Chain A
Amino acid sequence: MSFELMSNLVGAFFTLCIFSFLYKDNPFYQMSEQLLVGISLGYGLVFTYERIFVPFLWQPIVLKHNFILIFPAILGTLYLFRFSRKLGWLSRYPIAFSMMSIGMGVPLGIHASILVQMRQGMVPLETVNLFLIFLGTIAVLLYFFFSKAHSGSYGKFVNVGKWYMMIGFGASFGLTVMARISLLIGRIQFLVNDVFGLLK
């Protein structure tokens, strides 16, 4: 048995273990699920160690003698006090340090999520499509405005926003299903070509 075939058989075994959930919950699925979480966490640990800890903490301190970085390392270790009932409050310090960047979120959020979108929405209504986009955006925004009762002609206009959202959700649903179907096709191709093809 070649190494490639053995590797593919391992992949095929775990693929079938996960697919077995389509029949019902079973020990093979449970085993694969926990194994997947464990392997992902192990990979995350190694990735953090190799790509963050070594280049941004270990090497600057040990090789470049940038001892000031001992302070953020101590700050980081305060996270671990989360598990202590008595000293749990110490973990608020590193959390507060990371929360500082929320200040950047205010101006950048206003720019990216509000101003740019409004600028794109407020263009001359030269075509029917541009008019429909403008109408839909206003209707959707008003749909979530609850300070005025959704009744009468206002309620009818606001209802247009609901239809726009249904079409939007349908489109997102369709695209997501197709993405999942392409993954499914990939797994079936793996089983048929890479595993059963090599077994022949």
Chain B
Amino acid sequence: MKKTIPLFVVIFGGLIFVAYAFSPHKFLQDDFYNKFYVPWSYAAAPFAALLGIISLSMMHTSKIKRRAPKWQFSYFFFAGFIVTALAGLIGGMQKGGLLMWMFENMQMPMSATMFSLLAFYMASAAYKAFRARSMEATVLLVAAIVVMLAQVPLGVKISKHLPSISQWILDVPNLASKRGIGLGVGLGSVATSLKILLGIERSYLGGGD
């Protein structure tokens, strides 16, 4: 009841999905997938989102209760969450409303700046890699510098061949390495899917009885 039925659902449902991927039969394509699985998945999905929201809120509540390091900042989390949620649920998502104003003037600038900060950290990581003075690190950095310079006008001023060298790097060695890695990842994901389908891999069911 606790583990066997969910396992049976995954194995039986998974085998139907294997048949769905191969067969164009109306029962599988329309009745099973379009009329059963898709609407049921959409109907159950909001509760999964709710689980995440409750989990994060509980984490911050416990942080405040325990007076954990930097607990005061958890109030900003709640302030941001409550104000945004109320603005959206009461005022709607249309442009000109409070929710979109917060999205455009708070969320977007902050997330864009957060990602732009990574430029500095990547530069620092590149410097550290270069200090390793290994041949591999040098090849990596030379490829990176060629690709970077080819994207800006300065690169063309240095050498008019730089854009074509960069394109060759992207089209030949980069493609070969990505294809090799991609094939390995594909084989690995298919093997993991098969293990789940055959009931060998059960970690997604969690611990306990």
Contact = CB atoms under 8 A, between A and B. Distances in A.
A14 B17 contact: no
A39 B175 contact: no
Contacts of B53: 41, 44-45
Given A83-B54, A93-B5, A170-B143, A165 B122 contact: no
Contact of B77 (A35, A73, A162, A177): A35
B156 interface: no
For chain B, what secondary structure do more than half of its interface residues adopt (helix, strand, loop), or is it mixed? Answer: helix
Nearest to A88: B208
A151 B80 CA distance: 58
B26 interface: no
For chain A, what secondary structure do more than half of its interface residues adopt (helix, strand, loop), or is it mixed? Answer: helix
B189 A45 contact: no
A170 B106 contact: no
Contacts of B152: 178
A108 B21 contact: yes
B37 interface: yes
B72 to A, nearest CB: 9
A166 B76 CA distance: 43
Interface residues of B, number: 121
Interface in B57-71: 58, 70
Nearest to A78: B47
A38 B14 contact: no
Interface residues of A, number: 118
Contacts of A171: 143-144, 147, 169-170, 173-174
Contact of B184 (A50, A141, A168): A141
B190 to A, nearest CB: 5
Interface string B116-152: 1111101100100000000010011111111110011
A117 B81 CA distance: 44
Nearest to B181: A140
A164 B180 contact: yes
Interface in B169-209: 169-187, 189-190, 193-194, 196-197, 204-206, 208-209
Nearest to A89: B2
Q: Choose among B77, B79, B146 the residue with the greatest number of A CB atoms under 10 Å from its CB.
A: B77
B85 A186 contact: no
Contacts of A180: 115-116, 118-119, 122
B174 A172 contact: yes
Contacts of B193: 102-103, 105-106, 109
B34 interface: no
B163 to A, nearest CB: 13
21 contacts: A8-B105, A14-B106, A30-B70, A36-B111, A43-B88, A52-B42, A76-B46, A89-B208, A93-B5, A93-B9, A95-B204, A95-B205, A98-B44, A102-B197, A105-B190, A105-B193, A129-B171, A132-B172, A166-B139, A173-B122, A177-B123
Interface of A: 7-8, 10-12, 14-15, 17-19, 21-22, 27, 30-50, 52-53, 56-57, 60, 69, 71-73, 75-80, 82-83, 88-89, 91-110, 112-114, 117-118, 120-121, 129, 132-141, 143-144, 161-178, 180-181, 183-184, 186-187, 190
Given A39-B80, A57-B43, A180-B116, 6 more contacts: A44-B49, A96-B7, A100-B16, A117-B182, A136-B180, A166-B140
Interface of B: 2-3, 5-7, 9-10, 13-18, 20-22, 37, 39-51, 53-56, 58, 70, 73-74, 76-85, 87-89, 92-93, 99, 101-120, 122-123, 126, 136, 139-148, 151-152, 168-187, 189-190, 193-194, 196-197, 204-206, 208-209
